[in-house]
Structure 1
Amino acid sequence: MTVFAPTLVGYDKRWLRADVVAGLSAGAVVIPQAMAYATIADMPVQVGLYTCMVPVVVYAMLGGSRTVSVTTTSTIATLTASTLIGAGIAAGSDDAQSALMTLTLLVGVILLLARLLKLGAIIENISEATLSGIKAGVGLTVAASQLPKLLGVPPDPDATGFFRVLWSALRQIGDANTATVLLAAGSIAALYAMAKFVPRVPGPLIVAVAGILLVVLANIDSRGVALIAEVPRGIPIPGLPPLSDIGALLPGALAIAIMAFLETVSVGRGVRRETEPPIDSDRELLANGAASVAGAFFHTLPPAGGFSQTAVALRAGARTQLAGLVTAALAVLVALFLAPVLSDLPQATLGAMVVVATLGLLDFGSFARFWRVDRTEFWVALATALIGLVAGLLPAVGVGVLFTLYLVLRELNRPHIVQLQKDAHGQWRPGEEDAPTVPADPLVLRLNAGLYTANVRANMSAIRVRADVVEGGDRTSVPSTLILDCSRLQKVTLTVMRSFLDLHRELTDAGVTVFFAELPRANRETVLRTDLGREYVSSGKIFDTIDDAVGASRP
């Protein structure tokens, strides 16, 4: 596996024009959008601009997706704000920007540790229902938080959560600034119209330029339209993240790391062309983690793959991560030469960009699909969304992970035992797992899945039921011999062996002889390292094939 710049290996020079155009097109969308997302995290807009530099370059050098654009997303920005507030760090202060460096570093370290432990596939077990609920909570919460900017009224610093923020803004609707409301409404309408009718046009760039021109040419700021804070010229000066707030920031960093990884992987897989290599979750952990660690020293938000800017690059014909390098170069040029111009950007324009982008996260159709297909997933999605709206997004992520763990454990705990019977050609054929047991002696059962601590008891109970030795069973149908086909066992642990011992003793007491067949060689070697296993082998209860066990069961 190529570690460095895998998407640039074997680069075809005929792709150069498409990558350059795609990088510029994506930059026209992602740069103003990332600046807007920085305001969600209560950070200066230049933090979003910086996020389009170093993290993009690092991901381009390490990431496996050819076209995903890794800067930041509204979900990550919202979780960042929630983490800093939860850690008791005042929004907009110098301490907040220092804490952001620490938070971004923590996110990267967590992702790199997950890569070291090869946890990519495990993290991906976070259910789609959980993600849908979190995104619904993010979309509504962030949209509500932008209302003061859209109305031209001061935000309530004590208002947190969707309902309180919404009520705070609605109470001030009578004090709304007319010019600000008109600019916000026009910007939102223009963004939606361009996305629908001319999707190739970079809507955020057009709206941002229009807002700046209205300030420069029409002096709308003299009518009460608030502007963003002055944007400093130049690229970020490297700094060392302070380590004083690690304990307070760690829970939020864990949630951000999970969401950043999941968003990047889901976008990468969603835009992958059939001719491109599959997305490797462990590589994405490495690329995302390294991008976050590097970005921490350059005052960036935690990076993640975003769908909107990736879609722009894809439509423009991006072939490799060279497009990302072009986007990063464009961000550097903007910081060096256009910073004074950006200072004339109205807050309402940025707020409009955020509202349109975050409302795009709302997918109520997914809730309807969950209701039709799996009611449990519907309730998980709804509960996660409501927790996000009421208690905040960090608790929503935590509860969502717990819901996912519950669903995984519930599935693991489901028994997978099937009865085997010979067909007309003398081959052993499995029945359905839920099919009733056909009386047979010897009774042949297959363990149809690996056994672990989480599911061994449920499977042992299912075997007892199949053998009809449970309390209240029909004792006349108890077989004299039970043969367990162990060919599907991938690993045998002491916990599993002890469970087999308990089962063996119980069935022996009921007059049933237990044989084991087709245990994989590696597992047989493991069994022979224990006194119990050697006893089984010496007593002749482990056989190479089912037919051998059947033959031994007959006098």
Structure 2
Amino acid sequence: MSRLIAPTLAGYRKSWLRADVVAGLSAGAVVIPQAMAYATIADMPVQIGLYTCMVPMVVYALLGGSRTTSVSTTSTIATLTASTLIGAGVAAGSDQAQSDLITLTLMVGVLLLLARVLRLGAIIENISEATLTGIKAGVGLTVAAGQLPKLLGVPPDNTATGFFQVLWSALKQIGDANGATILLAAGSIAVLYAMKKFVPRIPGPLVVVAAGILLVAFAGIDDHGVALISPVPHGIPLPALPSFEHAGSLVPGALAIAVMAFLETVSVGRGVRRPDEPQIDTNQELLANGVAATLGSFFHTLAPAGGFSQTAVNQGAGARTQLSSIVTAVLAVLVALFLAPVLDDLPQAALGAMVVVAVLGLINLREFKTLWQIDRIEFWVALVTALVGLAAGLLPAVAVGVIFTLYLVLRELDRAHIVQLHRNERGHWRPGGESDPTVAADPLVLRINSALYTANVRTTVRAIESRSGIGEDAESSRPRALVLDASRAYKVSTTVMHGIRDMLKELSDAGVTLYIVDLPESEKPKLRTTPWWREFGGRRYFDHIDDAVDAAENDCATAAKVQESSNE
């Protein structure tokens, strides 16, 4: 049970307490104002972000496997939340929107827990890095464009969707921009970048929030047209029940959010794991994220996920365990109880500046360059995913990304991995390369160099036949015998068996005799019960390549003598 509940607190030492408390306070100085800013991305009041720093953070601290990952929410999750609610026809800022948010976050939690029960962690992780690179770029630019009305002091166009429409709707109002708002936004962005570069240990978001509130309180910049956030309710959130009016429309978005929340949390956890810490268990993370979202939903939270920036602050301040996250959650509760009236003086431009700096950090042109250098197909996957995100929104981009991922997986599965084996001077069989041309030999010795599946058995059969000189690429001389090493065909299904049976007939019709070597021991009991094995296995199956080669040479010699006798 100790590994399931509070695994990072097992064996806690007193000497870690001070570091965890300091790290929790430092992370709180970043994560609380940042989460409030992300709530505005989701078209939610800022207190929703504050509430997300409470229950979900404590739940992950008690169940998560990463010692230093800080879990609240992220810009990706916030953007997906906004897209999902808009797609479901929920009006931004309405009471119905907050009820549907409870439903959406609950659905995310249930989907993650279902994935945990089915042990789908490793499968979800198959979404390629190229897809995630494209999604992050699309998110970064779209969210940044969405903050322009706050930075310019103009009203947002709620009918505009997608990067290009949002950008145009803001730019065409630039003549009506408020000068004081622009100065505050530009100064906030400059401060955030400067502090991140020159004094990274001081939390820039906290400085920007404090400066904005002080400018309102003592300089009265709100009298010059600088817009403030909506009043923040005093106190902690009370439990509420979900509304299922739009539940059906929320399912696609909930699925996308669940996938992204899991991937972000696991990516952060693995990225900050120290060498002496246990490996990140994907199923443990599914459980932690699922319970955090499920319980958090009843307390008006966004779907939780691990964030890189807040985790970096947490770890940089010396966090040793998830006790630091509990300290951050306590700080969020104290802010809600005692500082809510102060937060009412926070300018929207300051929050917008924090969002812009955070999300532009998602766009990494070096990742695109690396993809171009290593795999052009993955580069185009990333670029197309990003463009779809910019033109049609994040949900279609996630869908396209998943489709591309499935395509890449199936494309790789469909590849035939066949190598020719050569005997060296010591009598050992050594493989050549998969792309090496076939060297004439009789018997020809090949190895199936990967597991066989329904997706690749036909391709593999065609590749073996081609190397044996059968088909369009037929060579002038074919081997009389083919020895096939099947030691790496770890599982033999009915489809695989039928494929080998068809190949056996094709080879036989072409005058090539097939010998099979070293099937996995786990598959032999099943194969021995089949008619195919009774017909083939007793005569032309061997445990070792040398035995198969000797049998093939003897059979060929016998056949040659028979042919000579018949000719006489």
- In the superposition, the TM-score normalised over structure 1's length comes to 0.98
1:522 counterpart SS class: coil
2:513 aligned with 1:506, yes or no?
no
Residue matched to 2:492: 492
Name the aligned partner's letter for residue 9 of structure 1: A
Displacement of 1:210 in angstroms is: 0.9
Residue matched to 1:164: 165
Report the more deviating stretch, 115-124 or 154-163: 115-124
Residue matched to 1:551: 550
Name the aligned partner's letter for residue 3 of structure 2: T
Residue matched to 1:483: 483
Displacement of 1:533 in angstroms is: 2.9
In structure 2, relative to structure 1, the CA distance for the partners of 1:191 and 1:471 (3 Å cut) is: closer
Alignment of 1:126-137 (within 5 A): 126-137=127-138
Alignment of 1:7-86 (within 5 A): 7-86=8-87
Q: Distance in 1 between matches of 2:141 and 2:20?
A: 35
- In the superposition, the TM-score normalised over structure 2's length comes to 0.95
Name the aligned partner's letter for residue 549 of structure 1: A
In structure 2, relative to structure 1, the CA distance for the partners of 1:130 and 1:472 (3 Å cut) is: closer
Residue matched to 1:153: 154
Q: Distance in 1 between matches of 2:375 and 2:472?
A: 34
Q: Distance in 1 between matches of 2:480 and 2:373?
A: 46
Displacement of 1:405 in angstroms is: 1.2
Name the aligned partner's letter for residue 546 of structure 2: D
Q: Distance in 2 between matches of 1:487 and 1:316?
A: 51
2:522 counterpart SS class: helix
Report the more deviating stretch, 44-53 or 366-375: 366-375
Q: Distance in 1 between matches of 2:96 and 2:536?
A: 66
CA deviations on 1:15-58 (whole Å, 9 max, x unpaired) are: 11111100000000000000000000000111000100111111
Residue matched to 2:462: 461
Q: Distance in 2 between matches of 1:472 and 1:85?
A: 56
Displacement of 1:532 in angstroms is: 2.2
In structure 2, relative to structure 1, the CA distance for the partners of 1:95 and 1:533 (3 Å cut) is: farther
Residue matched to 2:526: 526
**Identical aligned residues as a percent:** 70
1:231 counterpart SS class: coil
- The answer (yes or no) to whether the contact 2:466–2:473 under 8 Å persists in 1 is no
Displacement of 1:199 in angstroms is: 0.3
Name the aligned partner's letter for residue 547 of structure 2: D
Residue matched to 1:542: 541
Q: How many residues align?
A: 553
Displacement of 1:541 in angstroms is: 2.2
Displacement of 1:548 in angstroms is: 2.1
Displacement of 1:243 in angstroms is: 2.6
CA deviations on 1:292-320 (whole Å, 9 max, x unpaired) are: 11111111001111000000011100111
In structure 2, stretches of 5+ residues that fail to align are: 556-568
In structure 2, relative to structure 1, the CA distance for the partners of 1:10 and 1:472 (3 Å cut) is: closer
2:382 aligned with 1:370, yes or no?
no
Displacement of 1:401 in angstroms is: 1.0
Displacement of 1:472 in angstroms is: 5.4
Residue matched to 1:322: 323
Name the aligned partner's letter for residue 442 of structure 1: P
1:521 counterpart SS class: coil
Residue matched to 1:269: 270
Q: Distance in 1 between matches of 2:437 and 2:147?
A: 59
Residue matched to 1:411: 412
Name the aligned partner's letter for residue 329 of structure 2: A
Residue matched to 1:196: 197
Residue matched to 1:298: 299
CA deviations on 1:406-464 (whole Å, 9 max, x unpaired) are: 11111111110111121111111111111111111211111100000111111111100
Superposition RMSD in Å: 1.2
2:523 counterpart SS class: helix
1:326 counterpart SS class: helix
Name the aligned partner's letter for residue 238 of structure 1: P
2:419 counterpart SS class: strand
Name the aligned partner's letter for residue 237 of structure 1: L
Alignment of 1:251-400 (within 5 A): 251-400=252-401
Name the aligned partner's letter for residue 548 of structure 2: A
Displacement of 1:272 in angstroms is: 1.0
Displacement of 1:495 in angstroms is: 0.8
In structure 1, stretches of 5+ residues that fail to align are: none
Residue matched to 1:111: 112
CA deviations on 1:346-398 (whole Å, 9 max, x unpaired) are: 11111111111111111112112222222111111111111111011100111
